[in-house]
Amino acid sequence: MTVDPLTTRILDRGEHALARLAAMREADPPTTGGRVLSYVYDSGLSELDQLAMRAARLAHGVNGLDPTVFASVAQIHGGIISRTRSILGAGAGAGASAGVGAQAVAGVDAGTAVDGDVFGSVTSGGTESCILACLAAREVRGRSPGDGGTIVAPVSAHAAFRKAAHLLGLRFDGVEVDPVTGRVAAADLLAAVDENTVLVVCSAPSYPTGVIDPVAEVAAGLEAGHDPRIGLHVDACLGGLVLPFWPDTPAGPTMPEWDLRVARVTSISADLHKYGFAPKGTSVLLSRGRTRHRAAWFATVDWPGYPVVNPTLAGSKPLEPAAAAWVVLEALGEDGQRELVSRTAGATQALVEGLSAIEGMTLLDRDPGPLIAVAVDEHAPREQRVHPHRWADACGRRGIAVQAQPAYGQAGRSALSSSSHLTVTPVTHTMVDEILRVATDAADEVRGLPAPRPPAGFSDVLDALAAGTLTPDDILALPEDDIHTMVTGVLGGDHEPGEATGMASLIAAIEALPDAVGARLVRAYLAAVTEV
Q: Whose CA is closest to 345, among 455, 467, 432?
A: 432
Pair (442, 475) in one structural domain: no
Question: In this predicted structure, what is the pLDDT of residue 499?
Answer: 52
Question: In this predicted structure, what is the pLDDT of residue 107?
Answer: 30
Residue type, 424: V
Compute the average pLDDT of residues 465-480.
Answer: 92
Compute the average pLDDT of residues 249-253.
Answer: 73
| Higher per-residue pLDDT: 98 or 3 | 3
* pLDDT at 494 > cutoff 70: no
Pair (432, 355) in one structural domain: yes
Compute the average pLDDT of residues 321-335.
Answer: 97
Pair (431, 376) in one structural domain: yes
Pair (416, 474) in one structural domain: no
Q: Whose CA is closest to 426, among 340, 495, 517?
A: 340
Residue 119, CA atoms < 13 Å, CB-side half-sphere: 23
Pair (358, 436) in one structural domain: yes
Pair (386, 354) in one structural domain: yes
Question: In this predicted structure, what is the pLDDT of residue 116?
Answer: 55
Specify the number of domains making up the chain. 2
* 181-219 pLDDT per residue, tens: 999 999 999 999 999 999 999 999 999 999 999 999 999
Count other C-beta atoms under 10 Å from residue 301's C-beta: 10
Pair (374, 470) in one structural domain: no
The answer to whether the Cα torsion of 437, 441, 442, 444 is positive or negative is: positive
Pair (468, 442) in one structural domain: no
Q: Whose CA is closest to 232, among 310, 157, 121, 147?
A: 157
377, part of any domain: yes
Compute the average pLDDT of residues 388-411.
Answer: 96
118, part of any domain: no
| Higher per-residue pLDDT: 313 or 251 | 313
339, part of any domain: yes
* 255-310 pLDDT per residue, tens: 999 999 999 999 999 999 999 999 999 999 999 999 999 999 999 999 999 999 99
Pair (461, 440) in one structural domain: no
Q: What is the strand order of the sheet 197-203 is part of?
A: 118-123, 283-288, 267-271, 231-235, 197-203, 150-154, 171-175
State the Cα–Cα distance between residues 183 and 209, nearest whole angstrom. 9
The residue out of 381, 411, 446 marking a domain boundary is 446
Q: What is the pTM of this model?
A: 0.92
* 23-77 pLDDT per residue, tens: 999 999 899 999 999 999 999 999 999 999 999 999 999 999 999 999 999 999 9
Q: Which domain holds residue 390?
A: 334-446
Question: In this predicted structure, what is the pLDDT of residue 113?
Answer: 38
Q: Whose CA is closest to 513, among 487, 488, 494, 481?
A: 487
Pair (423, 478) in one structural domain: no
Question: In this predicted structure, what is the pLDDT of residue 91?
Answer: 75
* pLDDT at 389 > cutoff 90: yes
Report the percentage of the chain scoring pLDDT > 70: 92
